Amino acid sequence: MSITLRDSAAGDLPGIAEIYGHWVATGLASFEYEPPGEAEMARRRDAVLAGGYPYLVATDSDGTVLGYAYASAYRARPAYRFAVENSIYVKPGLTRGGVGKALLQALVARCEAAGFRLVVAVIGDSANAGSIGLHAACGFSHAGVLPAVGWKHGRWVDSVLMTRPLGQADSAPPPEGR
């Protein structure tokens, strides 16, 4: 399968909403209960882009959205401005087929080029071997577990924290004025 990675566009929102909606309804990666509609997904995408963060899609040769990934602020306080949190979702049936890895590698490269120093992955469910393995394969290290931090689908769910340093990471202060 041929995969094209590019910046997301408004026309990708139906595919993005469909992918995310599936994982909200059936999985534990997101702690939302109800899948948001296209208008809400558009609002969220606009907020990510307005913050100067990357929002990428993977498409096939027909332009069908196979997955998407974006970075956003890890936390709102100014001392955190050099850290981002990543999100990545792949179309059902296509996990472990290379789409997620291609997206995550491209997202990490974009975050590094933008001058961020750390990517934080907050992975829903400590049993989510696919996402944990994907992040490890892309250079993320285990940073901790928040045990039973969420309740979804009739059970307590952990969050796994993984991090990946970027650029100079913590070996040098950030540039002046940033």
pLDDT at 97: 85
| Integer-rounded Cα radius of gyration of the chain | 16
Cα distance between residue 66 and residue 22, in whole Å: 13
pTM to 2 decimal places: 0.96
Residue 177: band (very low, low, confident or very high) from pLDDT cuts 50, 70, 90:
low
In this predicted structure, the answer to whether residue 1 has a pLDDT above a threshold of 80 is no
- Write out the H or E segment, with its range, that includes residue 72: strand 65-73
What are the tokens at 173?
């202060």
Average pLDDT estimate for 73-94: 96
Superfamily of domain 4-165 in CATH is Gcn5-related N-acetyltransferase (GNAT) (3.40.630.30)
Cα distance between residue 160 and residue 144, in whole Å: 6
Cα distance between residue 164 and residue 139, in whole Å: 6
Write out 68-121 in H/E/C secondary structure.
EEEEEECCCCHHHCCEEEEEEEECCCCCCCCHHHHHHHHHHHHHHHCCCCEEEE
